[in-house]
Amino acid sequence: MNDTLLESIKLVPTNPGCYLYYDKEGTIIYVGKAKNLKRRVYSYFHKQHDSVKTNVLVSQIEKLEYIITDSEVEALILESHLIKKHKPKYNILLKDDKKYPYFLITDEDFPRIQIVRKKNLNPDHGRFYGPYTDIRAMHATLDFLKKIFPLKQCKTPKFTNRPCLYYHIGKCLAPCQGKVTPEEYQKLIHQVELFLSGKQTELIKQIQTQMQKYSEEEQFEKAAKMRDSYLDLQKTLEHQKVVYENTKLNEDIIAVIYEEGILAIVIMMIREGRLIDKKDFTYFVDNVDKTEYFETFFRDYYAGLKLEFPDKIVSKDLEEVGEKELYEDWLRILSGKKVGISYAKRGKYGELYELARKNAENLLENAKLKKMAQIRDDFNEVGSYLAEKLKLANFPNRIECYDISHIQGTNTVASMVVFQNGLPKKTAYRKFKVKMTEGKPDDFLSMKEVLSRRLSRLGEPKWEKPDLIIIDGGKGQLSSVMQIVEEFGVKDIDFVSLAKREEEVFLPNQSKSIMLPRNSNALYLIQRIRDEAHRFAITYHRDLRSKPFKI
């Protein structure tokens, strides 16, 4: 730590605010917020950190700046702005390959409704509703809206002296030809906005009132159109799942799952007691801190929300983020109304959260399948990358992985899973009952026994020789296994181990680990193989525990 930085740390005040760390090039590498700036900044330089990322960050800090705010919620808002502006290297920046679309109601005398991409957002262009994650459902919704609300379709009139075809088929009111007054058209726009905001009950009442008014005024053609719109809307509402009847429940239910480098987030939107929409988000992330990623997502999503805010946000995952009062204040400033946060501990909120979590689990499995399909299609590239980075003698066509499972040394079992060209080959999976360590937990000795039994069967039918064997564990586990490998004189199989804490890969007779890029398909593949071995071992162990153990 240089003298200038040391003096800067001493001068940091105890006020709330934001702090900015710079590297030797003068680039902002991290932005943070704190209720007490002095305490937070001090902790970076005078505490031991478990996180490799934090240790690397601290080693690169050359300069410190800070901005004092009046409150912690102001610091939160400022921090979000600074991160978006500077995109610091060590702040989490959520990225995926999707550009989520929005509905746009244009800013014109007679507005139109369009679907636009996020990159085109401009407040001067009109009012936005979204984002939406299902583009097919979005187009279906747009078709439905155009059917029951005959808004202007064209940016400029097709004809100067007569309406176009859209007017004659009932899909436009022809404002360009003066067929509708601005006041009547604005009522239509307001109804579209009610629909997009999830206020269908209020919308239904308005349409019923209009229908009755036209009927009393003997404008039967307009009354008939209102009736058709009313019936179409009722039919649509019947298909929406009723979560709670006779309620004004307006809530977002959020569930988050992180596995194998994939963050899956589902937001279920409930408006007036009806489940009106579900938004899915998947991110391939380079850090296992699910809470930090979720907090970043939560802030990004609601800071950019163009739909009307819910009255309550429900998620067990928000309890891990904490700072409930701070975020409720932040949401109130963003939305202009009170937005509560619930941790979904029990009752209806607990039930709704479990429903969202089931959807998140399904989203995660689909993301895994897509990732594995990509690895399968690009396996020559992935395999070559693994061979180069891990200094393998063989191209890893056939990979085996082993895992141990027991409870305090009882019913110790092991699993062997096989992946061929990047895909699981379940017919080649094997399971072992470990005999040498019964009653005394010793994973090293258990793994040595299992590898001895496996290597003794090399060359036998249905025991094809692997190109690479992955051991679940660290450097010590791998060293223990290599003793058995040397005893068997095995020379043409590669061995590595994968330590879960930092996802480090260890090679035989090397003290320094190898860190594969966190978002690489190569790391994802070996994580997937390791996790599959763990799942298979746990399943076998549970099966044994459910039966009387036979000696």
pLDDT > 60? residue 261: yes
Domain 251-369 = CATH 3.40.50: no
109-163 pLDDT, tens digit each: 888 888 887 655 555 577 887 777 777 777 877 887 887 788 888 877 778 788 8
| Sign of the alpha-carbon dihedral angle for 367, 373, 378, 380 | positive
DSSP code string of 120-184 = G--GGGEEEE---S-HHHHHHHHHHHHHHS-----SS-S-SSS--HHHHTTS---GGGT-S-HHH
Contact partners, residue 300, CB within 8 Å, separation at least 6: 80, 94
The Cα–Cα gap between 537 and 156 comes to 66
Structure tokens, 466:
């692997």
What confidence score (pLDDT) does residue 259 get? 82
Nearest to 530 by CA among 493, 500, 501, 502: 500
Does the fold of domain 379-545 match that of domain 251-369?
yes
Label the pairing between strands 398-407 and 468-472.
parallel
pLDDT digits (tens, 9 = 90+) for 340-365: 999 988 788 888 899 899 999 988 98
Q: How far is residue 473's CA from residue 447's CA, in Å, rounded to a whole number?
A: 10
> What tens digit of pLDDT does each residue of 509-547 get?
888 888 888 778 888 898 889 888 888 888 887 776 666
Q: How confident is the model at residue 40 (pLDDT cuts 50, 70, 90)?
A: very high
- pLDDT tier, 232 (very low <50, low <70, confident <90, very high otherwise): low
Cα distance between the two ends of the chain: 62
Confidence (pLDDT) at 99: 63
Cis amide prior to 131 (ω within 30 degrees): yes
Domain 3-86 has CATH 3.40.1440.10: yes
Secondary element (H or E) of residue 410: strand 410-420
**pLDDT at res. 120:** 53
CB under 8 Å to 432, separation ≥6 — which residues? 413, 414, 415, 416, 449, 450, 453
83/305 Cα distance (integer angstroms): 18
pLDDT of residue 549: 45
Residue 429: predicted pLDDT: 94
Q: Which among 353, 348, 352, 340 is positioned nearest to 310, based on CA atoms?
A: 340
pLDDT at 551 over 50: no
pLDDT of residue 159: 80
Task: Please list, in sequence order, all residues whose beta carbon lies within 8 angstroms of the beta carbon of residue 361, skipping any fewer than 6 positions away.
Answer: 257, 264
Q: Residue 108 in 3-state DSSP?
A: coil
Tell me which CATH code domain 379-545 carries.
Answer: 3.30.420.340
What is the share, in percent, of the chain residues with pLDDT greater than 90? Answer: 26
Per-domain boundaries in the chain: 3-86, 101-198, 251-369, 379-545
pLDDT at 100 over 90: no
pLDDT over 60 (residue 434): yes
Of the listed ranges 34-38, 194-198, 217-221, 230-234, the least confidently predicted one is: 230-234
Across all residues in the chain, what is the average pLDDT?
Answer: 83
- Check whether 171 has a pLDDT greater than 70: yes
> pLDDT-derived band of residue 315, with 50, 70 and 90 as boundaries?
very high
Burial 280-313 (b: 16+ CB within 10 A, else e): bbbbbbebbebebbbbbbbbbbbebbbbbbbbbb
